[in-house]
Amino acid sequence: MNDSNVGEVVVDGEQIRDRIAELGRRITEDYAGDPPLLVGVLKGAFMFMADLARSIHLPVEFDFMAVASYGSATRTSGVVRIVKDLDLDLTGRHVLLVEDIVDSGLTLSFLRKNLQARGPESLEVCALLLREGLQKADPDLKYVGFTIPPDFVIGYGLDVAERYRNLGYVARYDGPRDLG
Protein backbone atom coordinates (compact mmCIF):
# COMPACT_ATOMS: atom_id res chain seq x y z
CA MET A 1 0.00 0.00 0.00
CA ASN A 2 1.37 3.39 -0.96
CA ASP A 3 0.51 5.26 2.24
CA SER A 4 3.06 7.04 4.44
CA ASN A 5 1.19 5.90 7.58
CA VAL A 6 1.90 2.25 6.75
CA GLY A 7 5.36 1.43 8.05
CA GLU A 8 7.58 -1.61 7.94
CA VAL A 9 5.89 -4.99 7.50
CA VAL A 10 6.05 -6.87 10.81
CA VAL A 11 4.40 -10.13 9.68
CA ASP A 12 3.77 -10.79 5.99
CA GLY A 13 0.76 -12.56 4.50
CA GLU A 14 2.60 -15.83 3.82
CA GLN A 15 3.87 -16.01 7.42
CA ILE A 16 0.31 -15.42 8.66
CA ARG A 17 -1.13 -18.17 6.44
CA ASP A 18 1.56 -20.68 7.48
CA ARG A 19 1.20 -19.96 11.19
CA ILE A 20 -2.61 -20.13 11.09
CA ALA A 21 -2.37 -23.55 9.42
CA GLU A 22 -0.11 -24.70 12.29
CA LEU A 23 -2.48 -23.30 14.91
CA GLY A 24 -5.41 -24.98 13.18
CA ARG A 25 -3.65 -28.35 13.29
CA ARG A 26 -2.88 -27.97 17.02
CA ILE A 27 -6.43 -26.89 17.86
CA THR A 28 -7.85 -29.76 15.79
CA GLU A 29 -5.70 -32.22 17.78
CA ASP A 30 -6.35 -30.62 21.17
CA TYR A 31 -10.13 -30.51 20.74
CA ALA A 32 -10.59 -33.71 18.69
CA GLY A 33 -13.15 -35.19 21.10
CA ASP A 34 -15.08 -32.01 21.80
CA PRO A 35 -15.03 -29.18 19.22
CA PRO A 36 -14.75 -25.71 20.75
CA LEU A 37 -17.00 -22.72 20.46
CA LEU A 38 -14.87 -19.99 18.88
CA VAL A 39 -15.58 -16.59 20.42
CA GLY A 40 -14.19 -13.81 18.26
CA VAL A 41 -13.47 -10.36 19.59
CA LEU A 42 -14.76 -7.82 17.08
CA LYS A 43 -13.75 -6.08 15.07
CA GLY A 44 -10.05 -6.82 15.01
CA ALA A 45 -10.16 -10.62 15.16
CA PHE A 46 -12.65 -11.17 12.33
CA MET A 47 -10.06 -11.89 9.60
CA PHE A 48 -7.94 -14.06 11.86
CA MET A 49 -10.94 -15.98 13.15
CA ALA A 50 -12.27 -16.66 9.65
CA ASP A 51 -8.93 -18.04 8.47
CA LEU A 52 -8.35 -19.93 11.72
CA ALA A 53 -11.80 -21.56 11.57
CA ARG A 54 -11.12 -22.78 8.03
CA SER A 55 -7.92 -24.43 9.25
CA ILE A 56 -9.62 -26.27 12.14
CA HIS A 57 -10.94 -29.59 10.90
CA LEU A 58 -13.75 -29.93 13.43
CA PRO A 59 -17.39 -28.81 13.40
CA VAL A 60 -16.75 -25.60 15.37
CA GLU A 61 -19.40 -23.03 16.23
CA PHE A 62 -18.93 -19.27 16.29
CA ASP A 63 -20.06 -16.35 18.37
CA PHE A 64 -18.79 -12.79 18.65
CA MET A 65 -18.28 -10.10 21.24
CA ALA A 66 -17.32 -6.51 20.71
CA VAL A 67 -15.47 -4.61 23.39
CA ALA A 68 -14.09 -1.10 23.38
CA SER A 69 -10.98 0.26 25.06
CA TYR A 70 -9.28 2.36 22.37
CA GLY A 71 -11.79 4.63 20.63
CA SER A 72 -9.94 6.42 17.84
CA ALA A 73 -6.64 6.69 19.72
CA THR A 74 -3.58 4.45 19.48
CA ARG A 75 -3.39 4.01 23.26
CA THR A 76 -5.93 2.19 25.43
CA SER A 77 -8.20 4.33 27.58
CA GLY A 78 -7.88 1.82 30.42
CA VAL A 79 -11.65 1.26 30.51
CA VAL A 80 -13.13 -1.82 28.85
CA ARG A 81 -16.81 -2.05 28.01
CA ILE A 82 -18.92 -4.62 26.17
CA VAL A 83 -20.43 -3.14 23.01
CA LYS A 84 -21.92 -6.41 21.66
CA ASP A 85 -22.45 -9.44 23.86
CA LEU A 86 -22.59 -13.14 22.97
CA ASP A 87 -25.75 -14.79 21.68
CA LEU A 88 -24.89 -18.34 22.82
CA ASP A 89 -24.85 -19.89 26.30
CA LEU A 90 -21.36 -20.94 27.40
CA THR A 91 -22.43 -23.32 30.15
CA GLY A 92 -20.50 -26.58 29.90
CA ARG A 93 -18.87 -25.60 26.57
CA HIS A 94 -15.21 -25.66 25.58
CA VAL A 95 -14.61 -22.04 24.65
CA LEU A 96 -11.69 -20.73 22.62
CA LEU A 97 -11.45 -16.94 22.79
CA VAL A 98 -9.94 -15.64 19.53
CA GLU A 99 -8.10 -12.32 19.88
CA ASP A 100 -6.28 -10.25 17.28
CA ILE A 101 -3.64 -8.81 19.62
CA VAL A 102 -2.77 -8.82 23.30
CA ASP A 103 -1.24 -5.54 24.44
CA SER A 104 -1.43 -4.65 28.12
CA GLY A 105 -3.67 -7.62 28.84
CA LEU A 106 -6.40 -5.37 30.30
CA THR A 107 -9.05 -6.34 27.73
CA LEU A 108 -8.08 -10.01 27.91
CA SER A 109 -8.30 -10.04 31.71
CA PHE A 110 -11.73 -8.40 31.55
CA LEU A 111 -12.96 -10.90 28.93
CA ARG A 112 -11.59 -13.92 30.80
CA LYS A 113 -13.37 -12.95 34.04
CA ASN A 114 -16.58 -12.17 32.18
CA LEU A 115 -16.61 -15.42 30.18
CA GLN A 116 -15.46 -17.63 33.08
CA ALA A 117 -18.46 -16.38 35.09
CA ARG A 118 -20.72 -17.91 32.41
CA GLY A 119 -19.78 -21.48 33.35
CA PRO A 120 -17.76 -22.87 30.43
CA GLU A 121 -16.21 -26.34 30.75
CA SER A 122 -12.90 -24.78 29.65
CA LEU A 123 -11.70 -21.38 28.47
CA GLU A 124 -8.52 -20.92 26.45
CA VAL A 125 -7.15 -18.07 24.35
CA CYS A 126 -5.77 -17.98 20.82
CA ALA A 127 -4.16 -14.67 19.90
CA LEU A 128 -2.67 -13.83 16.53
CA LEU A 129 -0.24 -11.32 18.05
CA LEU A 130 1.37 -10.77 21.45
CA ARG A 131 3.00 -7.36 21.76
CA GLU A 132 6.04 -8.02 23.94
CA GLY A 133 6.88 -6.07 27.05
CA LEU A 134 3.48 -4.45 27.65
CA GLN A 135 1.80 -6.99 29.97
CA LYS A 136 1.90 -6.49 33.72
CA ALA A 137 1.30 -10.21 34.25
CA ASP A 138 1.70 -13.40 32.20
CA PRO A 139 -1.23 -13.38 29.74
CA ASP A 140 -1.40 -17.23 29.87
CA LEU A 141 -2.15 -17.77 26.18
CA LYS A 142 -2.48 -21.37 24.99
CA TYR A 143 -2.06 -20.46 21.31
CA VAL A 144 -0.02 -17.51 19.99
CA GLY A 145 0.62 -16.70 16.36
CA PHE A 146 3.49 -14.25 16.70
CA THR A 147 5.30 -12.25 19.37
CA ILE A 148 6.02 -8.79 18.01
CA PRO A 149 7.82 -5.64 19.20
CA PRO A 150 5.78 -3.10 21.19
CA ASP A 151 5.06 -0.90 18.14
CA PHE A 152 1.46 0.00 17.29
CA VAL A 153 0.48 -2.19 14.32
CA ILE A 154 -2.23 -2.25 11.66
CA GLY A 155 -3.50 -4.66 9.05
CA TYR A 156 -5.08 -8.10 8.92
CA GLY A 157 -8.04 -6.85 10.95
CA LEU A 158 -6.12 -4.39 13.13
CA ASP A 159 -6.95 -0.74 12.66
CA VAL A 160 -6.46 2.82 13.65
CA ALA A 161 -9.74 4.77 13.61
CA GLU A 162 -11.32 1.93 11.54
CA ARG A 163 -8.70 2.24 8.78
CA TYR A 164 -6.20 -0.33 7.44
CA ARG A 165 -8.05 -3.49 8.57
CA ASN A 166 -8.03 -4.73 4.96
CA LEU A 167 -4.25 -5.06 4.63
CA GLY A 168 -3.24 -8.68 4.01
CA TYR A 169 -0.27 -8.35 6.39
CA VAL A 170 0.61 -6.68 9.70
CA ALA A 171 2.66 -3.48 9.54
CA ARG A 172 3.90 -0.84 11.94
CA TYR A 173 1.67 2.25 12.03
CA ASP A 174 3.73 5.39 11.38
CA GLY A 175 0.89 7.94 11.32
CA PRO A 176 -0.48 10.43 13.85
CA ARG A 177 -0.96 9.06 17.38
CA ASP A 178 -4.53 10.30 17.85
CA LEU A 179 -7.10 10.51 15.09
CA GLY A 180 -10.06 11.52 17.28
Q: Which residues are designated catalytic?
A: 103
- Among left, alpha and beta (phi > 0; psi -120 to 50; other), residue 63 is beta
Half-sphere exposure of 71 (CA within 13 A, CB side): 10
SS3 content of the chain, % helix, strand, coil (to 5): 20, 35, 45
* Calpha distance 69→107 (Å, rounded): 7
Helices 13-30, 46-55: axis angle to 10 degrees equals: 60
Q: What dihedral angle (degrees, nearest 10) is formed by the CA atoms of 28, 170, 108, 20? A: 0
Task: Count CB atoms within 10 A of the CB of residue 75.
Answer: 13
The rounded distance, in Å, linking the Cα atoms of 77 and 116 is 24
Query: What is the CB neighbour count within 10 angstroms for residue 101?
Result: 24
